[in-house]
Chains A and B, each alone.
Chain A
Amino acid sequence: MREMSENMATLLKSKNMVGENAPSHEVTVEGASGSDYWGDYAKYTVAESTSYSQVYGAFVVVDNYIYFAHEEYIPSERVYVSKLDTATGSVEMICLLSDTVIEKGMTYFEGHIYVMLSGMDMFKIDLTTKTPTMVYDAPTAFNELIVYNDAIYASRRNAGGTADDLAVFDVNTNTWTNVVTMAAGRRLNGLAVMGTDLFAIEDGSTNPNRGALLKLNGSSFTTVAPAYSSLYNDLKMPIAMGGTIYAITYEQGTSVDWCGGALLKWNGSDAWILQIPMNTEKRQFTNAIATDGTYVYCTTTRVTTEQPNPLSLVRAKADFSAWEVVCWEETGLDAWGGMGLAVVGNKVYGFHAPEFVKHVPVIGLPVKSISINRDKNIAGLLNLAIDNKDGANSVDVSGVLLPNVEVVVKQGYGEERVTTFTGLIDRVEMWTFPQEVLVTCRDKIKLALDQLVTVVDGENIYRVVTYTDQTVEAIFSDLCTKAGLTTGTVEETGVTLSEKTFSWETYGDAFQWLADLVGFEFTADEDGLVHFRADEAPTTPTVAYVFKEGEDIINLGYVVDDNELYYDIYVYGAEVDGTVVYGYSPYYGRTNYNVLEQKILKIDAPDCDTYLKCQEIANRTAKLMASRARVVTFQAIGIPWLQIGDFIQVIESSTTISEIYRITGLQTNMDENGYTMTITCYYHSYGEA
């Protein structure tokens, strides 16, 4: 049941959904980098550590994986390196490193990941064997590691702590050698590689050259651009994009006067060019910058003394004329993380503490009609018709509307909308008459129905998976992760399986087997979360909505049928030695519906080897009959807040019904003829008028 605002409840009874209260919708698909809209962000937490874990900004992207460092606070502040599979969203721990904190330094070089810890130890991790080796015990602090000219480079503090030298690492002898030794007071604030050149931004509190761009020239640095101005001197995080180096800065000053950051660029001329000046929004840039080749992304914090300080993602507009906010994070994400940003595919990943966040660009679709069909126990369906007059949308959408792209539908009235569908595209059709694009989607259960249970262990792929001594809910959750599903409510089943093997089965079959075993149901909700819970109706339900003739019922059909009703249910099974066992349940509504006494349902269940299993099936069958005795189907105005399993009261005088019903099916249709829905529900209990 989803809460609806009081205003909305009043509006739905007003019969007057016009003007600013007209039915409204928002249909989005995942778009390419640089799309105009952004969807809600998704959070990942690191599951491996049992206690609170903080994700650092140290990361490296290799193929479709993001390797990142995270720290376990309690009990021992250990540092782990884990990897995120950006295709499935699963996080796997690679190794435990040390008991010290990690610095920014992390890079990938020749099959290994090199990590610099703030305890000044440098590790290399073999990605095949997942084993870390300490390769250097540094006497001084290092900044970020960067691969340049087929070697690992870093800026490191000199022995006296007075300057930052540029050093190169020899992976054969595990030694660092200075390439450029800097004079006292000169420090380096970030390295970038563009083409065949290495660039650094100079820093240092007493240095007049602070904020200058340096270029490596053999064994020394040449200043290619002096500092832009003293206001912009804390320049940092240089990145190269298309022959230009971009760097961000924020104005130095007292903490309450920090201004929003500025973007400077250098494109080969002899000076920095101010690309976007500091704004007056008082948003400070944090230590993260990334580019997808079109935009430059940054994280910002709001300058306030309030904690937690919210973190936002901003990007420079495609023409670099201004910053625009991609994602406001007014609550929920602390600012003291926000150390790193990575672009993989079309998504921007932000590293916050204690988790990291995926920002998905989306494209809004100009739809003509939206019809959604949700039924208990089957995957929900979505049909969209998109206007394509004169091919207006075929070019825009043809590269985007592909199978398995995520579609999110929000519907409502006026400005109040709620997510009514999250699913994946099954099929895209284009027609010339009428000129439209038809898109068919299934909800996230598609991932379970279409894929086989698979385990990837290094280079080995197994389709036979065995679980030993695990609870049913733990197996369910693990299978969801493997299938790429995000779980919502997973209730405790109280059943532990000594051993269960899934061999060349779909996730859907595996889920069904687990659900049948414990009498649960699995569903994907409107937000795409998968739930695994007992199919139980409470005895005193909360009524989500009251439908009444003359207010919101368009038409109504009411059926009482004894076709599928039985007086008693018997379930017969056999023990391992052949002894017959059986379970029995009466149908509780048999007197009410006048069921014939000798109308008996006999179920043969040869797989049931105990009395209890037979009894469980009998009980469930009896319960299921409750949903078949009195069924009401009616058409009403669209109420996107309603969900399968909600209780509603239906009041209609010609059929004299006024009881509480439970929803088992919902079909909604939104098009030029209005927003209506068809509800299928079964009788649950007498209602209070």
Chain B
Amino acid sequence: MYTFGSTELKIIMGSYRASYASNNVVEIPLLAGEGPASIVQQNGRGRYIISFDSYVTSLSDYNTLRADYLSLTAKTFTGPETGTYMIFDLTQAEGVLPNLWKFSITLMEV
């Protein structure tokens, strides 16, 4: 069971994109000499993000997620990868069936 805080999330098959972060590498050009004329430096890493398509079975569950999204509340995400995340992006819920609300969500490491 996947959860964000206490809200249960159903993952739409094949949509889970595992945690990823940018490596924050910059390339600084040098005066030309032998070999590659640049220096590669890294400024730490970016924050991990996880994204997937999901659905909930009641609009109030979606509203809980939306409140967390708007207030940038960090909660524990339990799933293939577990950690403390906040909702970085949340799409509008699409009422596919009377009790199936579908949306896309992106979680960001805090």
Contact = CB atoms under 8 A, between A and B. Distances in A.
Interface string A139-180: 000000000000000000000000000000000000000000
A646 B31 CA distance: 23
Contacts of A672: 24, 26, 43
Interface stretch (A92-100, A283-291, A552-560, A678-686): A552-560
Contacts of A390: 72
B97 interface: no
A218 interface: no
Given A18-B41, A552-B39, 7 more contacts: A16-B40, A17-B40, A549-B31, A550-B31, A552-B30, A671-B43, A672-B24
A676 B28 CA distance: 9
Contact of A554 (B30, B34, B44): B30
A548 interface: yes
Leading 10 A-B pairs by shortest Cβ distance? A550-B33, A22-B42, A18-B42, A549-B31, A674-B41, A17-B41, A15-B39, A549-B33, A674-B26, A553-B31
Nearest to A638: B41
A313 B99 CA distance: 61
B44 to A, nearest CB: 7
B14 interface: no
Contacts of B37: 550
B33 A23 contact: no
Contacts of A552: 30, 39
B98 interface: no
B43 to A, nearest CB: 6
Contact of B41 (A22, A556, A652): A22
A550 B32 CA distance: 5
Interface in B16-30: 23-26, 28-30
Interface in A653-681: 671-676
Contacts of A550: 30-35, 37
A324 interface: no
B80 interface: no
B38 interface: yes
Given A672-B24, A673-B26, A674-B26, A23 B31 contact: no
Kindly name the residue among B25, B31, B43, B72 whose own CB sees the greatest number of chain A CB atoms within 10 A: B31
A36 interface: no
A218 B39 CA distance: 78
Interface residues of B, number: 22
A555 B32 CA distance: 10
13 contacts: A15-B30, A15-B39, A22-B42, A390-B72, A549-B31, A551-B33, A552-B30, A652-B31, A672-B43, A674-B26, A674-B28, A674-B39, A674-B43
Contacts of B40: 15-18
Given A15-B38, A17-B42, A551 B24 contact: no
A16 B43 CA distance: 12
Contacts of B30: 15, 549-554
B34 A17 contact: no
A549 B30 CA distance: 7
Contact of A637 (B35, B39, B42, B44): B39
Contacts of A17: 39-42
Q: Main secondary structure on chain B at its contact with chain A?
A: loop
Interface string B66-101: 000000100000000000000000000000000000
A676 B43 CA distance: 13
Contacts of B29: 554
A19 interface: yes
A582 B1 CA distance: 93
Given A553-B30, A553-B31, A672-B26, A15 B44 contact: no
A22 B43 contact: yes
Contacts of A674: 26, 28, 39, 41, 43
B104 to A, nearest CB: 24
Contacts of A551: 30, 33
Nearest to B26: A674
B41 A554 contact: no
B36 A23 contact: no
A206 to B, nearest CB: 58
Contact of A549 (B32, B36, B38): B32
Contacts of B36: 15
Interface string B30-67: 11111111111111100000000000000000000000
Nearest to A671: B43
Contacts of B34: 550
A673 B27 CA distance: 8
A556 B40 CA distance: 19
B107 to A, nearest CB: 18
Interface in A519-565: 548-556
A131 B72 CA distance: 65
A15 to B, nearest CB: 5
Interface in A381-407: 390
Interface string A492-514: 00000000000000000000000
Contact of B31 (A16, A556, A673, A676): A556
A35 B60 CA distance: 41
Contacts of A556: 31
A637 to B, nearest CB: 6
A19 B41 CA distance: 9
A552 B23 CA distance: 22
A675 B41 contact: yes
A18 B44 CA distance: 8
B68 to A, nearest CB: 15
A23 B72 CA distance: 30
Contacts of B31: 549-550, 553-556, 652
Contacts of A637: 28, 39, 41
A463 B89 CA distance: 63
B32 A23 contact: no
A476 B71 CA distance: 58
Contacts of A652: 31
A390 B70 CA distance: 13
Contacts of B44: 22
Interface string A446-472: 000000000000000000000000000
A549 B35 CA distance: 11
Nearest to A12: B39
A355 B82 CA distance: 51
Nearest to A553: B31
Nearest to A16: B40
Contacts of A671: 43
A674 B41 CA distance: 6
Contacts of A673: 26, 28
Contacts of A549: 30-33
Interface in A116-141: none
A553 B23 CA distance: 24
Interface string A390-426: 1000000000000000000000000000000000000
B23 to A, nearest CB: 8
A19 B35 contact: no
Interface string A469-493: 0000000000000000000000000
A554 B28 contact: yes
A96 B33 CA distance: 70
Nearest to B36: A15
Interface in A345-359: none
